[in-house]
Structure 1
Amino acid sequence: MKIRMMAAVLAASVTIPFGAAKATDLEVTHWWTSGGEAAAVAELAKAFDATGNHWVDGAIAGSGSTARPIMISRITGGDPMGATQFNHGRQAEELVQAGLMKDLTDVATAGKWKDIIRPSTLLDSCTIDGKIYCAPVNIHSWQWLWLSNAAFQKAGVAVPKNWDEFVAAAPALEKAGIVPLAVGGQGWQASGAFNVLMIAIGGKDNYLKVFKDKDAAVAAGPEIAKVFKAADDARRMSKGSNVQDWNQATNLVITGKAGGQIMGDWAQGEFQVAKQVAGKDYTCLPGLGVNEIISTSGDAFYFPLQKDAEKAKAQDVLAATLLDPKTQVAFNLKKGSLPVRADVDISAANDCMKKGLEILAKGNIVTSSDQLASPDTTKQIEDLFAEFFANTTMTPDAAQKRFADIIAAAD
C-alpha cells in the first residue's frame, strides 16, 4: 500500500535525535479556524514560541473531515508537517503502523505522562505496541445542549431543564419565529447529535454494546428505537436552520435565532468570543439534562517523521510544551475543553466548564465513539445521518435498519 511504501523511504533517511533544540520553525496543521478555536490555538503558538522556536500555523479551513485527508495526503506523499492534529482515537492508526509517525515514548516518560494524563484511555489511544505516538491536549465532550436564555424569554416559556422539556417547548419557539434546534448541514454534526441522544435516551450500557461490542441486535432493538424517535424529533425541530458549519449553528443560539444546539463543549469558545456569560446569557445541560455523562473525546497532536534533525528536536520540545501545566490551562480555558492533566489549577473555569469538571471527577465518563469505531465505520454513520436529517421521507425505522447493518459490519 502507498503508506507502507512511503514509510520505507522515510525510515531509510530519518534519524531520531534527542536533546536540546535550536530555534526552529515548525509547521503545525489543524482545523481550528472559528473565533473561539483561533483564540485557543494562539495560546499553543505563544507557548511554543516562548521556547525560542517558532510555530508556523497551518490552519486548514473546514471541519476535521475536510482537513484530515489533506493532512494524510501530505504525510504519505513525502511532504510531512512538523505536527498535526487528530482526534483521540484511531484516525492516525494506519500512519503509525506504517512507520510514518514519531515515537514520543522518551518525551512521555520524561514528562511522566502516565501519571498526569486522565483518563488513562487518552494515552492508551496514543499507544501502539507499547510505544506512545501522540500528545493529548484536551478532553472534549459531545454531551451538551446549549440554550439561548433570550430565545426562551421571547417565546414566553421557561428555559428547559432536560431534553423532554426542550421538545415540549419547540412549538412556542416556532410560534415566536425561532428555530428550536440549530443543526449544521454536515454529517458529523448530525451523527454527533445522535450519539449524544444515544447516551441520554438509550443509556451508557446500550451505547457501549453498540459502539464497543458492535452488537447489531441491540442496534436494531427497542431501546435504540427510542433513540431514533428522539432523533426524528431533533430532525423536525432543526428545520429552518439553513447553515452549514457548526459555529454558524452556535451563532444562531448566541443571537437568539435558535433555541438550542446539541454540540460539544468547544461551543463555549464561541460564547466567550461573543462575551456571553454562562448561566446568564446561555444555559448548558450536560447529558441533555437526562444522563450527566460525558464522553472523553478531544484532540491530540502527532508528529510525522522528519529528515531535518533540528525539526525532530523541535518536535520533542513542542510535545512537552503541549502538556506543560500553564499551556494546558491557557489553551483549555479558551477552547472550552477540559485539560488532560489532573494536577492543574482550573479555578478560572466558567459555570459550564465546572459542570464538566465535576462530572469528570465523579468518573461519569464514557469512551467516545471515535475511539471505539474505525474511521470507515464513523464515516458510514456520518453519511447515514446526513441523509436522515436532510431527507424527511426516510423513516426512523428505515434509518435504524441501516444503522444496525453498519454496526453488524463494523470493525
Structure 2
Amino acid sequence: MRYHLTTAALAATVAFAAPAAATDLEVTHWWTSGGEAAAVAELAKAFDATGNKWIDGAIAGSGGTARPIMISRITGGDPMAATQFNHGRQAEELVQSGLMRDLTDIAEKEGWKDIVRPSSLLDSCTLDGKIYCVPVNIHSQQWLWLSNAAFEKIGVPVPTNWDEYVAAAPALEQAGIIPLAMGQQPWQTSLAFQVLVVALAGSDVYNKVYGDKDADLAAGPEMAKVFEAADKARSMAAKSNVQDWNQATNLVISGQAAGQIMGDWAQGEFAVAGQVAGEDYTCLPGLGVNEVIQTGGDAFYFPVLKDAEKSAAQATLASTMLAPETQVAFNLKKGSLPVRGDVDLAAANDCMKKGLDILAKGNVIQSPDQLMSADSLTQVNDLFVQFFNTPAMSAADAQKTFASIVAAAD
C-alpha cells in the first residue's frame, strides 16, 4: 500500500450539503483516555464544521463495558445517531434485525471500495452485499512498548525482541521496576496472548486457530510454546495492579514499568505525555520477532432513525469520517493508521512509520473480531483472565481449555 499525498489532494475537501438548520447527532463511543479524547475531538470538530453538532456520548470503560449499553439502547428503541464498534461481527445481529442503516448508496457514490485499504475492512462492514458501517482506522494489537529510562536504569540496552525482554526481567525486578505492565480488564490478557501467538507461532498458526477453528493445532506443540511464553508474561506482570489499559501505559511512561503489550492506540498516551518515539520509548511490532499488522480497528454504525433531518445529518457524518483531512487529523492523534491509501502522514512518528511500512509490504492479518464470534471471544477472554490471575493454573491446563473453546467456536 502506498501512502502519499499530492498538493491537490491535500487541498481537496469533501463537499457537504449542510442542512438548513444545525442538527444535533449523539455519537456513542468508549474513547475516554487522554489520547483517545484528543482523537475523538478531531472527529467532532470536522462534523461541527459542516453546520451540524456532534453530541458526545462517551461511555467510560472498555468496549466490553460500552457495547452492552449501546446494544440495549438500540434494541430498546432509544438509538443514538451513530455508534462505535470494532471491525468485525459485533453488530451482526443488529444489522440482521434491520436496526442499522444501509450505507451502500453513500459508499457507492463516494467510491469507498476504491479508497478503503485493505479491502477486508469494508468487507467487515458488508452483509449480504450491503455496507452498514464506516471504517475509520486500522488498529493493530501487535506491539511491545518499552520505557527507555527503565532499561537505562538497570544498565541494559533496550531490548530488540521478546527473548531479550524476558531475559532482562530479573534485573528489572531487582531494581524495583515492574517488567510487564498489564491492566485487569478482561480483553487485555486475551490481547497479550493473541500477540504472543502471532509473534511466536506465526500468522499461519493464528489464522488456523482463530479463523479455521483448528482445535488439534490449538492443543498441539506449537501452541504449547505460546502458553509457556504466556506463563512467563504472567510472572512478569504479577506486580502490575492497575485496572485500565491506559493506566498500564502510564506505568511505562513514568518508568515504573519496563514494557507493555498493547495496541498502537497506546501511542496517543505517549503523545499526550509529551514523549518522543525512539527517544523516550521504543516500539517493537510483532514483539520484534514477527512483524505483522492486524487490520482491526474501529468503525461507526448508524442506527435507523425516523427523523428525516437527523437521517440526512447521519449521511454527512459518514462522509466526514472518511474525508482525507479527517482521516489524517484523527489518526495522528489516535496512533492508528488511516483506512485511506491516498492521504499524507508525513507527520507520523517513528512507530507509525514502522506500521505503515509493514502495511505497505502486505504483512497483515485480520483481527480476532473478524474471525470469531463475540460469544466465542468472550469465552477466550474469560479463560485468560482466570489464567493471569490464578498462578496455580498451569499452562498445560489453560491450553487444554483453550483448545476446547476453539473446537466449539463459531
- Using the size of structure 2 for normalisation, the TM-score is 0.95
Structure 1: how far apart are the matches of 2:296 and 2:180? Answer: 23
Structure 2: how far apart are the matches of 1:209 and 1:86? Answer: 25
Partner of 2:223: 224
Matched residue type, 2:19: A
Structure 1 gaps of 5+ residues are 1-17
> Alpha-carbon deviations, 1:180-211, whole Å to 9, x = none?
00010111000000000000011111101101
Secondary structure of 1:283's counterpart equals strand
8 Å contact kept, 1:155–1:175: no
Partner of 2:310: 311
- The Cα of 1:267 is off from its aligned counterpart by 0.1
1:206 is the counterpart of 2:205: yes
Alignment of 1:4-403 (within 5 A): 21-22=19-20, 23-403=22-402
Structure 2: how far apart are the matches of 1:375 and 1:367? Answer: 15
Matched residue type, 1:41: V
Structure 2: how far apart are the matches of 1:183 and 1:312? Answer: 41
Structure 1: how far apart are the matches of 2:195 and 2:113? Answer: 29
Structure 1: how far apart are the matches of 2:132 and 2:140? Answer: 22
Structure 1: how far apart are the matches of 2:343 and 2:335? Answer: 15
- The Cα of 1:19 is off from its aligned counterpart by 7.1
Matched residue type, 2:393: M
- The Cα of 1:374 is off from its aligned counterpart by 0.2
8 Å contact kept, 2:285–2:292: yes
8 Å contact kept, 2:181–2:260: yes
Structure 2: how far apart are the matches of 1:261 and 1:106? Answer: 42
- The Cα of 1:21 is off from its aligned counterpart by 3.1
In the TM superposition, structure 1's runs of 4+ consecutive aligned residues that sit over 4 Å from their partners are none
- The Cα of 1:294 is off from its aligned counterpart by 1.3
Cα RMSD of the aligned pairs, angstroms, is 0.9
8 Å contact kept, 1:156–1:172: no
Secondary structure of 1:314's counterpart equals helix
Matched residue type, 1:208: N
- The Cα of 1:20 is off from its aligned counterpart by 5.6
Matched residue type, 2:107: A
- The Cα of 1:307 is off from its aligned counterpart by 1.0
Structure 2 gaps of 5+ residues are 1-15
Matched residue type, 2:126: T
8 Å contact kept, 1:21–1:317: no
8 Å contact kept, 1:268–1:336: yes
Secondary structure of 1:241's counterpart equals coil
- The Cα of 1:155 is off from its aligned counterpart by 1.4
- The Cα of 1:110 is off from its aligned counterpart by 1.4
Secondary structure of 2:168's counterpart equals helix
Partner of 1:4: none
Secondary structure of 1:100's counterpart equals coil
Percent of aligned positions that are identical: 75
Aligned residue pairs, count: 394
Structure 1: how far apart are the matches of 2:185 and 2:77? Answer: 30
Matched residue type, 1:44: L
- The Cα of 1:72 is off from its aligned counterpart by 0.1
8 Å contact kept, 2:18–2:52: no
> Alpha-carbon deviations, 1:52-81, whole Å to 9, x = none?
000000000000000000000000000000
Structure 1: how far apart are the matches of 2:17 and 2:159? Answer: 55
> Alpha-carbon deviations, 1:136-194, whole Å to 9, x = none?
00000000000000000111111000000000000010010000000101110000000
Secondary structure of 1:300's counterpart equals strand
Matched residue type, 1:343: D
Structure 1: how far apart are the matches of 2:193 and 2:204? Answer: 16
Secondary structure of 2:235's counterpart equals helix
Structure 1: how far apart are the matches of 2:347 and 2:149? Answer: 25
Structure 2: how far apart are the matches of 1:21 and 1:33? Answer: 30
Structure 1: how far apart are the matches of 2:350 and 2:202? Answer: 25
Matched residue type, 1:21: P
> Alpha-carbon deviations, 1:207-257, whole Å to 9, x = none?
011011000000000000000000001000001100000000000000000
Structure 2: how far apart are the matches of 1:155 and 1:294? Answer: 31
8 Å contact kept, 2:199–2:290: yes
- The Cα of 1:111 is off from its aligned counterpart by 1.4
> Alpha-carbon deviations, 1:236-283, whole Å to 9, x = none?
000110000000000000000000000000000000000000000000
Secondary structure of 1:277's counterpart equals coil
Structure 2: how far apart are the matches of 1:157 and 1:394? Answer: 32
Structure 2: how far apart are the matches of 1:184 and 1:370? Answer: 20
Structure 1: how far apart are the matches of 2:378 and 2:299? Answer: 20
Structure 2: how far apart are the matches of 1:290 and 1:355? Answer: 14
Structure 2: how far apart are the matches of 1:20 and 1:409? Answer: 49
Structure 1: how far apart are the matches of 2:18 and 2:102? Answer: 17
Structure 1: how far apart are the matches of 2:189 and 2:295? Answer: 19
Matched residue type, 1:130: G
